[in-house]
Structure 1
Amino acid sequence: MTTHDTTETQGVRLAAGDAELTVLPESGCRIGSLRIGGTEVLRQGAGFGSFPMVPWCGRVELGRFRDGADVHQLPVNAPPHAIHGTGRDTAWRTARTDGTSAAFTYDLAAPWPWPGRVTQIFDLAPDGLTISMGIETIGDSFPAQIGWHPWFLRNLGRGGEDVKIHFDAAWQEERGADHLPTGNRVPPRQGPWDDCFGMPDGVDVTLTWPGELELKVTSRCEWVVIYDEQPEAVCVEPQTGPPNGLNTLPRLVTPIEPLEAATSWRWRGLGPRSV
């Protein structure tokens, strides 16, 4: 069933097979819920679920970034840095919804220095979800990033084991004491993690709740942040550049070339406790 009620409690609901997705456009166009076979897989509550990171991902050093000779100041919402963009704090417009897919938009505005439009599309299938996002400029070119920040439950609450995370990265961005990449690339290290990894062939991370569910996160993006320092949930965050990338690896949105990215989640049940 699909509804155009975009309240925090109702949102836009999509369904395919035994998968049910709720998107909350009024709350940063985040996924409020993903239920597979009746089991919730995302951490619930304000600020959780899965939110878009746009027009930047992760931390921006001291909230400042340079575009040519101009220095721009963003709100410092994770002192001493700015973090995760403005999209998650903005009400988005519902452009369309048809039961298994939906599209949403919002217009970039202050404190972001340039006008532009962001579009996010959700396509739900019985065995997976694809999320696409794009940024287009309405005027001048500007640097930007796209990413997603899902909070997957560490334990599905059905008496099974905690989730296992498996990935094979080409490198790890060395993290400084300020939680920003130092610019050095080091061999991947053991967790716990709040770290960015490089995957030049595309993000490919598998989450396994033994005997219950396997969920694979993939993307053509070349960076992923893995965060597992909280007891309730783990995060697998595909993104188009590393944290602080507005300063270190700017990706331009131009009048003839928008910035576009997508991520897919594919799942299957496992064993006798299969979700």
Structure 2
Amino acid sequence: MALLRRAPQDSHDPLDMASFPLVPYANRIAHGRYSVDGRSYQLPLNFGDHPHSIHGFGWQRPWHVLEQSGHDVRLEQTHDGDAGWPWAWRAQQHVRLSEDALDVTLLVQNLGDSPMPCGLGFHPYFALDGDTMLRFHADTLWLSSPDMLPEREVPADALGDWSQGARVTGDSLIDNVHGGWDHVAVVDRGDGIRLTLTAEGSDWLHVFRPPAGDFFCLEPVSHMPDAINRPEGMAMLAPGATQSLSMMVAVREI
């Protein structure tokens, strides 16, 4: 029984996996361009013909195993700084499985000598059937422009009555971020399984549902898309400092 989307056998594409980490930023940076302290930078456009840089770049680079046991693994990745992201950093993932939960912690440390913009997130894919229901509470929803950047703030349930619980399936695209969510999302499947996602420290929840698909994504993230180019900005991580984000997906029968 697949609770998250099952990866195809022998696939090495992160986009085929059950989940992947978002580091050192989450979601989109418009056209890959941004400025910090008066200096402008250009990130690679890393998602086919999509016009923006997306999901950070930690998901597209190797992670090295630090420790591993039967149900527990620690992974590490380092970035030495380059033209698109000049700050050096070290990231780690700690993934733990138990009988009734998946628990993942992601952290990043600024190894440079100047403050670094920093954002984190998770991108889990949930298996979807026609009876799957989703429930969570949030304050607002951002509708997107045609190229999928936040454009207009509206009531949180404008695309689904998620606060009361609503069916996930549909024939339209949902690819939108919710602000002020309460860090808990409940997924009730048609087979009587309840998945409860909790993610303390993530002020935003991005919901992705492709039309008529067999999966959907609930992405707890620390900032909204393109925050680095918006007045709200992104958090700045001091030299030597660490930022972290944790996600748990608990499983039980209902």
TM-score range, shorter chain: 0.7 to 0.9
2:228 pairs with 1:246: yes
Equivalence for 1:209: 189
Q: Is the 8 A contact 1:144 1:246 kept in 2?
A: no
Q: Percent identity?
A: 25
CA distance in structure 2 between the partners assigned to 1:177 and 1:54 by the alignment: 25
Deviation, 1:185, is 2.7
Contact kept? 1:50, 1:151, Cα under 8 Å: yes
Task: Report if the CA contact (8 A) 2:3-2:126 is conserved.
Answer: no
Whether 1:257 aligns to 2:236 is no
Residue number in structure 1 paired with 2:154: 186
Question: 1:42 maps to what in 2?
Answer: 5
Q: CA deviation at 1:169?
A: 1.1
**TM-superposition CA deviations, 1:182-240 (whole Å, max 9, x none):** 2x43202124521000125x421111112431101111211010011241210000000
Which secondary structure state, in structure 1, belongs to the residue aligned with residue 124 of structure 2?
strand
Distance in 1, matches of 2:131 and 2:209, equals 12
Matches of 1:98 and 1:112 in 2, distance apart? Answer: 34
Counterparts of 2:90 and 2:241, CA distance in 1: 13
Q: Secondary structure at the match of 2:123?
A: strand
Of 81, 90, 95, which aligns to 2:61?
Answer: 90
Number of equivalent positions: 226
Instruction: Tell me how far 1:82 sits from its aligned partner.
Output: 0.5
Measure how far apart 1:264 and its partner are: 1.0
Aligned CA RMSD, in angstroms, stands at 1.8
Equivalent residues of 1:95, 1:104 under 8 A apart: yes
Does residue 144 of the first structure (1) align with residue 118 of the second (2)?
yes
**Native 8 Å contact 2:106 2:246 kept in 1:** yes
1:50-105 deviation digits (Å, cap 9, x = unpaired): 11111111111010111110111001124311011111111111011122221110
Counterparts of 2:235 and 2:4, CA distance in 1: 32
Contact kept, 8 Å, 2:4 with 2:124, in 1: the verdict is: no
Give 1:40 shift. Answer: 5.0
Q: Secondary structure of the equivalent of 1:62?
A: helix
Contact 2:111-2:240 within 8 A present in 1 as well: no
Q: How does 1:1-275 map to 2 (within 5 A)?
A: 38-45=1-8, 46=13, 47-48=15-16, 49-78=18-47, 79-109=50-80, 110=82, 111-139=84-112, 140-155=114-129, 161-182=130-151, 184-188=152-156, 189-191=158-160, 192=172, 193-199=174-180, 202-220=182-200, 221-230=202-211, 231-248=213-230, 249-270=233-254
The answer for unaligned runs of 5 or more in structure 2 is: 161-171
Separation in 1, partners of 2:240, 2:57: 24
Give per-residue Cα distances to partners, 1:31-58, cap 9 Å, x unaligned: xxxxxxx545314243122111111111
Give the AA of the match of 2:85.
W
Structure-2 separation of matches of 1:39 and 1:186: 34
Q: Matched residues in 2 for 1:166 and 1:43: separation?
A: 23
Instruction: State the secondary structure of the residue aligned to 1:72.
Output: strand
The answer on whether the counterparts of 1:58 and 1:84 sit within 8 Å (CA) in structure 2 is yes
The amino acid across from 1:261 in the alignment is L
Structure 1 CA distance, aligned partners of 2:62 and 2:95? 17
SS at match of 1:177: coil
Residues 135, 253 of structure 1: 8 Å contact kept: no
Contact 1:121 1:132 in 2 (8 A): yes
Unpaired runs of at least 5, structure 1: 1-37, 156-160, 271-275
Secondary structure of the structure 2 residue equivalent to 1:50: coil
> TM-score, normalising length from structure 2?
0.83
